[in-house]
Amino acid sequence: MRMQRRHAGVASLVAVSLALAACTGGGGVIDVGKGLCREVGDATAATPEPVEASSTSDAKIGVVTDVGTLDDKNFNEYSWIGAQQGAASIGAASPQAIVTANSADYATNIQTLLDDDYNVIVTVGFALGAATLEAATANPDVHFIGVDQFQAGDDPVAGAGLDNYESLIFNEAQAGYLAGIVAASISQSNEIAAIGGSGTIPPVVNYMRGYENGAKSVKEDITVHLKYVSNDLAVAFNDPTTGKSFADQFLSQNPDTDVMFQVAGKTGNGVLQSVVAAGIYGIGVDVDQWISLPDQAQCIVTSAEKHLSMAVREGIEAFAGGSTRAGNVFYGADNDGIGTSPYYQFDGNVITDEIKTAVTDAFDAMAAGDLDPCQPSNLCYAGTEDTGTD
């Protein structure tokens, strides 16, 4: 099934991967809250192995994360894994990372890598876009890879017109649309939700608007709540305690909600904790969160994925191979840049063959350019959303 194709590495050249032990047994209904979750059986997620690359490339690779941690089980971590995979693939030294503690430090952290003579710098997240563009403009001999950083310009592909700056752009609306199909198909109450970190971040809004449209493609009258946690990015994406309390409060006010999609990074990990406590279905974001959050796996039906590790790795490989990319580099259904995760213990019971076929058909239609996930209800990102509202 093309939408579930995995992109963990490049065969034996890559030492970093996310491995999954066999899922055996389980599948029984868990008697918590609404009782929709299911036992996962004996399943564990392996920790990525450290890279031991032979030095066949002199590329010096550095990473600046968005606010958060390298072990956020999500956006920062999987972009970091992609940098490690890329270094291993080209035979470069293991990359180094600077973890951003405060958004005011973006430019300073990038400059630290420049001062240490790094010639490939990966910056993670939409919020680093301005600082990355400024650094790339001032340092034409350094190659910058910006994750989720759309470059504005007269040509949407060429972007800012810099030869040394590539932006990895994912079609979140497509991945969200697939998640919406799943959510509407399994909802018993006809009421579902998505909790986003901040309505000021375009990828978050695109995920959620795609989710809304995908759900309504299945059930036109379904209620889809779209809520945002905070415009303070540290709270929006790096505060699982707030994520859980926000979701708990939402569910207390909307008790019929039985499927919740998290689009809030590490804050969203707290949203999934709330999902488990309520015994409802959860949908993860960006990566396969069934693997990355084993404590919540009993309720995670699938995840809307951006193949972050693959995209970062490919950017590093292109640089080392002399075919450096520039401008906006797009990842979507047409090149397996997005998708959904496997359904694990829900496959064959909650997730029927009919649902799987609907998701596959939608993926193929988007890959062919025949389905726009931003239609019919609302455009995707068209400006700042109202935090905390539908």
The Cβ-side half-sphere exposure at 13, using a 13 Å CA radius, reads 13
Check residue 47 and give its pLDDT: 47
Q: What is d(CA 24, CA 41) in angstroms, rounded to the nearest whole number?
A: 5
Contacts of 332 (CB under 8 A, 6+ apart): 170, 171, 174, 338, 366, 367
| In the predicted structure, residue 14 carries a pLDDT above the cut 50 | no
| pLDDT band per the 50, 70, 90 thresholds, residue 10 | very low
Check residue 30 and give its pLDDT: 86
Q: What is d(CA 98, CA 117) in angstroms, rounded to the nearest whole number?
A: 14
Residue with tokens 């909307």: 254
Check residue 13 and give its pLDDT: 32
| In the predicted structure, residue 55 carries a pLDDT above the cut 60 | no
Structure tokens at 235: 């709270």
Structure tokens at 222: 């379904």
Structure tokens at 108: 């300073």
Strands (E) located in 188-326: 191-196, 223-228, 259-263, 281-286, 300-306
Q: What is d(CA 168, CA 330) in angstroms, rounded to the nearest whole number?
A: 6
Please give the mean pLDDT across all residues of the chain: 88
Q: What is d(CA 249, CA 313) in angstroms, rounded to the nearest whole number?
A: 39
pLDDT tens track for 331-357? 999 999 999 999 999 999 999 999 999
Is pLDDT larger for residue 14 or for residue 216? 216
CA dihedral 323, 324, 328, 331 (to 10 degrees): 60
Check residue 26 and give its pLDDT: 58
pLDDT tens track for 161-195? 999 999 999 999 999 999 999 999 999 999 999 99
Residue 66: C-alpha distances to residues 146, 343, 355 (Å): 11, 29, 35
Residue with tokens 């939608």: 362
